Structure formats: C-alpha cells, structure tokens
Structure 1
Amino acid sequence: MAIRKELLAELTARREEAMAGGGLDKMEKRRKKGLLTARERLDDLYDKGSLQELGMHVDHDTAGIDHKRLPGDGVVTGIGNVGGRPVAAFSQDFTVSGGSLGRMHSEKICHMMETAASLGLPVVAINDSGGARIQEGVLSLSGYGQVFFRNVELSGLVPQIAIIAGPCAGGAAYSPALMDFLIMTRKGSQMFICGPDVIKASTGQEAPIEQFGTADAHASVSGNIHFVADDDKHALEITRKLLSFLPLNNMQDPPHRIPDTIKVEVDTAMNDLVPEENRTPFDVSKVIARLVDGGDFLEVQREFAKNIVVGFARIDGMVVGIIANQAMVKAGTLDCDSSDKGARFIRFCNAFNIPIVTLVDIPGFMPGLAQERGGIIRHGAKMLFSYASATVPKITVILRKAYGGAYLAMCSKDLGADFVYAWPSAEIAVMGAEGAVKVIYKKEIDGAEDPKAKEMELRARYVKEFASPYQAAEHGLITDVIAPSETRSKVAMALRIALTKRVTRPPKKHGLIPL
C-alpha cells in the first residue's frame, strides 16, 4: 500500500509555506534591493545540496498574541558542508515579522548551538533582525539571554562567526559581539545599541548613523567588526575563506596542507625589501607577501589600529596566525587599540591550536598624554598576558627595531617563543640609540668640538655594543641571526618541528587578563 497522496500533498504545501517565508512579494522586494533572502544566504554559504535544516515547521509562541503564522518563527537553522566540512548556521528572515526574536526563534538558535557544541562544529550566525518581538514581552528578553549564554559556552570550544547583513540594534548586537569574528555588509546593515533618535533624546547630541552604526565606522573607529563586505555574497565569500583556515573545534588541529618535504629555498628578493637606514619606514605587508604561500594572506581588522597587522595564512602548507608591527603607521608602536587587536587575535589562535608567527619592528609603546590617560599600561599588558599564556607554537622574527618593554610584548623568548630569529638589521635594546647616547655618553657629547658629529659616531657605537643581534644571540635570547632571504625556509622548518609542542600548565580555572 502506498502512502496516502493527501499526506504527501500536505507535506509539500507546508514545505512551500516555510520556504516562502514572509511571502514571495517581500522576497522579491529584497532581491531588487540587491539583498539575498535568509535561505539564499545559507544556500550561498553551503556546498550545493548539503544543508540539513533544523526546525523547518516551527511556528511562533501564540500565547497572548494573534495566531497569524510566522513560518520558522523568522529564522532558518541547519547544518551543512562548507568546503566539504560540516558547519552549523542560522539565518534570520527579515520577511517574517522583521526577523524579530521571540521564544521559539531563540529556541531554534539555541538548539542549533547546542548541537554544534556536542558535534564540535563551527557556528555561523547571519543577523538580520528588527530586535526583540515586543508582543512576547519578557520571553523575548529571556530568549536573548539564552542565546548570549550559549555564545559564552561555545567560546573557545568552536569558532563563531557573525555576519551583520541587516539591522542589528540594542541587545541584539551583543550576540555578535560575543563571537570571534564579525563580518558586516556596507549595503543594508546597521549595528548599534542606541540609534540617533535615542541619543538625541537622552543627551541632546546630534549623532548621524554614519558616524557610529555603519560597517565603515565599526571597522575603522570602534573596532567592533573584523571584515567589511560589499554585499551579502561578498560576506559569505569572506566567511568561507575564513573557515578554510580554522579547525572545526578546539580539539582539532587547523586544516594544514603539509607537503612530504620542506623546500629549503633562498628568496633573495626579501633582502631587497630592507631599507639601508633602520629608521626609514617600510611596509611589513611586503614581507608577509613573500613569507606566506602564494602571497595568500587573509588580513583581519584591516582598517582598525593599522600600526599592527594580524591575519591568517599558510607557510609551507601549515596554517599560521601572523602578527606584525607596521612601521608605516605610527612607526609601528603599540598603543591602546593595537594592543587590544593583537591580544584578541593571539588568544583566538591559542584557543584553536593555530601556530603564531610574529614579525617585530617596534620602537616602543606609543608615547603621549592621551595614551597614558587611556590606559596604555593596562592595554599593553594584554599583549604580555596573551603571548605568555599561549601554548601553541610561537615563532618570532625580529626584522629591525625591538626596544624596551615593547620588545618583550612582541613575543620575545622570555614570553615563551619557541624559536626567535633576527635579521642582521635588528636592534635589540632597552631603548633606541637616539635617546640612549644622550644618557650614556652625555659628557663625551658635551665636551666634543662637534657635538652632532660625535653623537652620530656614538650612535653607531651604541648599536654595535648594546643593541646588536649577535649580543642577544651570545646570551641565548635569540635562536639565530639569519639573512632576510632565509626567513621563509627557517620559519617553515621551525613550524614543522614545533607542531608537536605540548605544554602543561598549573591547574586553575583561568588566568585574569587585565581587561
């Protein structure tokens, strides 16, 4: 006996209703604006045909409100493959009650996150919501709390990526903020706690949304997001690229592509990148491009705190997180923002077993009253804490300047670096020659016939006697002095050796990073 046709017809009708979301007309209006629908976003994220949807037939909690159906309660959740590896995701549907969050909406998200935790799968959250569903009152607030709780439970367990593809206001902004990476589209998205009207009503201050709620503002000013996407498709492309560098969970290694043999090659072009004069700024991104496989580097937070560069790449097939001082911006000094940016990236890499390669060219911490009053001591300490607590392989290359406490903060051997290399151009000292000679050789300079010429002579003497990389090597503080042309081969060999690293730390709940 075949199954009754009316049952199959009902199933088909219910599926069609769920797939239509808030209606075909609303979907078409979104497409005309260049926006994808909730399901189209998941289709674009996942390998074709791999999505296994969770809770397609869920409807909203009708207690105390009208009985109008809300297909899926305004959110699509499921698990599918990205590049052949499983990933859990949700995508809020703005065509259904503005994508507002109610009790069943939050339960679907929480169920998906609990499933991701138990299976060890990354989570992708596509946010496009008008916020809490007012009609469900405190149940909506409770729903947000349940989601936040699971964001924290999953932190450090599986990678969490948020895409801001529409409105994300008020309490809704805190779930993305609790995740590891935020991608925001320039088209159609906004994120803020209080909008322009609320700010004006409460403070009297005019605050155009362009100054604080857009993707560009969050990328360059507040530092709340990590990537800016042109549109939905670009955001999903960034997501897939990011996932290609990450393990599924904290118990796995990242997806290395290690060849059977290491190519020991000399890259003479690397020598040509180094200016003759150590105080001449040079672009560290050119070093990164020659260091990593095929120049393929996914930079994170490109527009924020540009004096430090962070991102993912592969070196001889091994996934690494790269942290580098950028001498082209603020001379590569560490300030409050760059310290926060670097520390957060280090801690992510450590949580997910990603080796860290640090490129050092730093004259010190950023001087100035604003930095001191802004808490540079507290912020800079985050870099020290993050590097010292990281147990993944840590390879450091000192390119040029490495002075004072900033030398330590950029993963010196004393902070647990496994291998430390220095170029012959490296200067490692308590302070730079310009300031040091005025302290150490003050009498000689003052008594000279030509003080300026004497000072220049003494600078060279100081560098040779007190800042030479060979002096650091003699004391075992660096592994080797290498030519720039040898950098890629040396780092690749060090990484291959260090992949088996295992560190046992004293038992404790967690350290207390200076937040």
Structure 2
Amino acid sequence: MPDATHARIEDLVLRADEAVRQAEKRAADRQHPRGKLTVRERVERFVDPGSFVQIDAFTRHRGGEDDRPYGDGIVAGHATVDGRPVCLYAQDFAVFGGSLGEASAATAQKVLDLAVKIGCPVVGINDGGGARIQEGVAALAGYAGLARRHAAASGVVPQISLILGPCAGGAVYTPALTDFTVVVRKTSYMVVTGPDVVRAATGVEATLDELGGADTNATVSGNAHHLADDEDDALDWVRTLLGFLPANNRDPVPEYADDTSPGLTATDYELRGIVPDSENAAYDVTEVVSRVVDDGDLLAVHDGFARNMFCAFGRVAGRTVGVVANQPAHNAGVLDIDASEKAARFVRFCDAFGIPILTFADVPGYLPGVEQERGGIIRRGAKLVYAYSEATVPLVTVVVRKAYGGGYAVMGSKHLGADVNLAWPTARIAVVGAEGAVQVLHRRELAGLSGAARAEREREIADRLRHSHSSPYLAAELGYVDAVIDPADTRVAVARALRLLRGKTVGVPFRKHGNIPL
C-alpha cells in the first residue's frame, strides 16, 4: 500500500476515533450528573471485554447537512456475554434525547433480523423520548416495524429490554413485547401518557413516579420483571438471566456439571421442618425451593409483582428449570388475576424455549370477591390453565402442603399433562379444606349444637375428613399422584424425574396455533 494512501487511512481512523471520544465526553457530561451511564459505558460493562462489534456506526438521518450525527442516536451490534453470542442495540440519550428516527429504527430492526438469523438472544437498552417528532410518520413507521420484528422473534430467540431512562408513548410497547423488562430505581420511567396529559384528559393529579416510575412498573402494573438498584445491577441481572437461557428455541438449555448427590444431605433433612403443620400458617416457599435446586441458586422473575406467586429460574442436575410456586408468605399463596397471568406467561416462555417446569403447589384455591370476578378472573385465570395444558416440556409437580379446588387442578396437576407428580405425606388434596367441608356436609348436625359442643364436634369431623377425603394417599390410589415422598427426598426425586424426562417427546396434532382466552 502506498505511503500516501496509508497515511490517509490512518488520518481517517484517527479522526473517527476522536469524533467518538468527543461524543462520549458530551454524553458523559449529560448522563453522569443524572446518575446514568453513557451508551458506550453500558455496552462495555454488559458484554465480554473487546467482544463488541458495532454495525451501522456511520448511518445518518435524512435531511440537511447540519446536525446529522453518525449513528443517529443508537449504538448497535453483536458481542458475547460469558462467551455466548448476543445481539444488542442501545439508545443514546445524548443524541436527540435518544429519540427514534428512520435511520436509528432501521439499525435496531437490522439487529433483530440478525439475531433471528443466527439464533441468539437480543437485548435492547432503552433510554429515549420516543418517536422523533421532526421525522413525523417515518419515526412512527420505525416503531411499528420494530414491533413487528419483536412479535416475529417471540418464541424464537430470547428478547430482553432494559429501561434505563424515560420511555413514553408508543415507545413503551416494543419493550412490552419482549420476554423480560428491567427497570432501575429513580431513573426509569414507562408511561403511555404523562402527568400533564392525564390531568388534561381526566382531571386527575398524578406524579410521573405514580404513573410510571420504576416501583410502579415493578410492583403494581407488572410491566417490569426486575427492579434494579442501579444500572450495574440491571446489567448484571440480565447477564445472569442469559446464563439460564438457551440461545434460541432449537438449542438445548445450558448444561453445567451434574453434581447432584444421590444420598441425602443435611440440607435435605431441613425440608422436614420448614413447612408449618397448620394449613393457615405462613412460610417462605423459597426456603423449600432453594433446597431442591442446585446450590440454592435462584433468579426470581417478576419478584415484586403478584408476590403470592413465585417464579424463578434455577438448575436441577446441572440443567435450567423454570420454577412456579405458590407463595404462602403473601396472601396465603392464593390464586388471583395477577398471579395467574404472571405464572401463565412464565410457563409459556419456558415451554417456548424447551425449559422444564418444576411446580410447587401449596394453594388454598382462587381468591373470592367482587373485584376479582368483575376484573375477569374467569378469562384471565384461564390463561394459567391454558399455559399448563399446552406445555410440552417436562413437567414435574410437588404438592407441598395443600392443594384445594381449582388451585389443585391449575398448579401443574396430572390432569393438565404433568409428567411426574409427587406429594409430601402432610399434603392435603381436596375440593375444599376440611374445615370448609364440615360446614357444607354436616351443617344440619351442627345446627343443633352450640358453643363448646359445636366447636368440639367440628374438630372431630374435620380430623376425620382430613384422612378420608384429603389424604395424598387417596390421590395416589387414583394415579393422580405418582409417589408420596418424605420431604427430605424431594431434591433427589425431582432430579431423578427430570433426568428421566430429558428424552421426552410429544405427539402434538398439527395446527397453526391455539386461541388464548380473551
């Protein structure tokens, strides 16, 4: 190569590097005072060192020659996380407020197309003001095109969104189409309309935090799957999540060394003492689950929302499982609208990506009440029934304490297609609890008693019904429970079942898709 050409190329490279440095300095001046990282700092902290390859670095929006920054406010490309490929795009708030224009939308769409082609997860880092007003319908078309690609990629590759700044208007719907969304305290906002619009349209006064702050989205609306303390926490959670997920819907789940001890350990015996004898006493189901999964390692999903249902990723015998469990520590682990939808979506994600589902049932049934009925508990609760019924991945269920009424049927019962169903000897499986059955089946007898005599008779009948109507051995007689096991044997029994089911095949009749409840 001639010296002159070499010098010219070297000069162009130096000028480009200097332009990037200057842009990064301007971005740091804007972002750091807000407690936020710059777009390149985010990318660098998220991916493996030196692995990021940027695409469309020189793309620019259409228009005049002035104020046409390279990249058009988005940094996108591919990299590795823990050695595994990932595609990503990140909005740059320092350029046009991170708004999406025709050029930046095309770049984001290109990244999604690439992720589907090569079969790897895609991560979107959102920090922008929505569609770029100056570009009009072209910006709106960009969001619509991005949404269409998210929908097409759903169930094909894992899709994860981080909301690290404002996200408003139509911009909120593309993250809502992805599988997991992460927000950060104090800096993340997701709203369709802001306080001014709400006030003008309805007369209601509400702050931005009340409408769409991080806490609201993570605990009230359920739009966010993880509430991070800061951006590093958010990025770390996503890295951890990717470690549990396959690259796409055709790849197997990540596999680690299977060091499951065939013999019982001291931790196994602890399972005998965690669950209280009383059906109504609260306890933390994670104390049970953590003693069954490898190394007690769990990554909770949607942990702040519908806390009466616990969903998490863990590993059993070295392979990823999705855990679904009633949480008696919150509202007795009852099934309601939010818990049903939370678990249904998690089950469907696991099924789409070949992740076995491990269910722990301790449920008093569905939550009664006018609010639940008018809110659509029938159609929305049916989503969980549908999700389990349609699932073809290995399904293992453990009835820990009680499983009453529709709650028994819904929580991974044999009748919905579960492969292996286990129960502890202290489990109770029935239409209603013994105390409730007494009032229905023996109301005439009890009507003639009062005071201490009635209370004593109720206790006697309830004790009898526990043995004659709700014993797990009765369900085992009918084949609805495959084995009644010592709680200390749970870890070994679950691992054995999941190993057995690794080769599970299911003959599913051909159809385009089913129709989820309204």
C-alpha distance 185-489 of structure 1, shift in aligned 2 (>3 A): same
- Deviation string for 1:28-65 (max 9, x for gaps)? 33224331111111111100000011111111122xx5
Q: Is the 8 A contact 2:294 2:315 kept in 1?
A: yes
Query: Could you tell me which residue of structure 2 aligns to residue 283 of structure 1?
Result: 284
Matched position secondary structure for 1:223: coil
Q: Which runs of 4+ in 1 moved over 4 A?
A: none
Letter in 2 for 1:81: T
**What are the within-5 Å matches in structure 2 for residues 91-170 of structure 1?**
91-170=90-169
CA 204–456 in structure 1, closer or farther in 2 if over 3 Å, else same: same
User: Deviation string for 1:413-458 (max 9, x for gaps)?
Assistant: 0001110000011111111111112222234434568221111111
Residue aligning to 2:198? 199
Compute the displacement of 1:262 (Å).
5.3
Q: Which residue of 2 aligns with 1:55?
A: 56
- Segment drifting more, 395-404 vs 444-453: 444-453
1:8 maps to 10
% identity of equivalent residues:
46
CA contact (8 A) 1:182 1:227 kept: yes
Deviates more, 1:382-391 or 1:445-454: 445-454
How far 1:365 moved relative to its partner?
Answer: 0.1
249-258 or 47-56, larger mean C-alpha shift: 249-258
Alignment correspondent of 1:411: 412
Look up the match of 1:486. 489
1:332-351: per-residue Cα shift (whole Å, max 9, x none)?
11000100101010000001
Q: CA deviation at 1:315?
A: 1.8
**Count of residue pairs brought into register by the alignment:** 512
Q: Are the equivalent residues in 1 in contact too, given 2:400–2:427 (CA < 8 A)?
A: yes
- Residue 372 in structure 1 maps to residue 339 in structure 2: no
Q: What is the 5 A alignment of 1:386-397? A: 386-397=387-398
| 463-472 or 205-214, which deviates more | 205-214
2:311 is aligned to 310
Query: In 2, Cα distance between the equivalents of 1:307 and 1:189?
Result: 25
Which SS does the other structure have where 2:78 is aligned? strand
Matches within 5 A, 1:296-445: 296-445=297-446
Could you list the per-position Cα deviations for residues 269-294 of structure 1 after superposition, in whole angstroms to 9, with x for gaps in the alignment? 11011212222222211111211222
Contact 1:61 1:102 in 2 (8 A): no
Question: How far has the Cα of 1:233 moved from its partner?
Answer: 1.1
SS at the partner of 2:72? helix
Residue of structure 1 aligned with 2:511, choices 505, 508, 513: 508
TM-score (norm 1): 0.97
Please state how far the C-alpha of 1:25 moved relative to its aligned partner.
3.1
Given the alignment of the two structures, is residue 454 of structure 1 paired with residue 454 of structure 2, yes or no? no
| Aligned equivalents of 1:261, 1:317: Cα separation in 2 | 8
- What RMSD in Å do the two structures reach over aligned CA positions? 1.5
Q: Is 1:403–1:430's contact at 8 Å kept on the other side of the alignment?
A: yes
Alignment CA distance shift 1:109-1:471 (3 Å) = same
1:183/1:228 contact within 8 Å kept: yes
| Aligned CA distance change for structure 1 residues 77 and 436 (closer, same or farther; 3 Å) | same
Provide the rounded CA distance (Å) in 1 between the counterparts of 2:172 and 2:249: 25
Contact 1:17 1:71 survives alignment (8 Å): no
Cα separation, 1, equivalents of 2:220 and 2:371? 16
Distance 2:439 2:232 in 1: 57
Give deviations 1:65-124, integer Å, cap 9, x for gaps: 563221200000010000100000001111111111111100000111100000001000
Structure 1 letter corresponding to 2:84: R
Identify the residue that residue 498 of structure 1 maps to in structure 2. Answer: 501
- Please, which of 465, 473, 487 is the counterpart of residue 468 of structure 2? 465
- Separation in 2 of the partners of 1:26 and 1:474? 68
Q: CA deviation at 1:215?
A: 0.6
Provide the residue aligned with 1:171 in structure 2: 170
Aligned residue for 1:218? 217
Q: Secondary structure at the match of 2:120?
A: coil
Partner of 2:238: 239
